[in-house]
Amino acid sequence: MSKKHRARAVLLTPGDTLLLIGRVRPGLDPYSVVVGGGVEEGDADPEAAAVREVYEEIHGRAKIVRHLYALEDEKERQDFYLATVAEWSFDDKSGPEFTQEGRGEYTLLELPLTVAAIDAANLMPPEFAAVLRGLVERDELVPVAQGAE
């Protein structure tokens, strides 16, 4: 059995905020996740998968800035990318997870780029929450080529 491969986009907005997906599931404390999902056969690479997932989940057009982090265990690999997004519409989301029975509630969270906001969002997985917290503390989450084309 091959490992699942997921691609996720840490989305920065023009207002220097962070977009996350809020999750409420029965029996669990509310938590949040970085936008993204599984790399599919038709995706050219994990970056392309992250861009596709952003479109499906928030109807936004992401621009990948750089790879941030890889989290891997025996079951899956998750690649996290820093990306920018200028426009989005959560009302126009189209990912298959939104229509599956028993998946709980999904909301779009727009948070300030602060450690306190990340901690309050209960970001999962905790290993990546710690990485993101460190990037924010060191002010390393700003896109290198912000505004450059």
Domains and CATH numbers, the chain: 4-137 (3.90.79.10)
Please identify every stretch of the chain with a pLDDT value under 70, giving residue numbers as ranges: 1, 95-96, 98-102, 143-149
CA distance 18 to 10: 7
pLDDT tens by residue, 89-125: 988 887 667 666 667 888 999 999 999 999 999 999 9
For the chain, percent of residues with pLDDT exceeding 70:
89
Alpha carbon 24 to its chain centroid, in Å, reads 16
- Its pTM stands at 0.89
Cβ 12 vs Cβ 132: under 8 Å: no
> Residue 142 has what pLDDT?
76
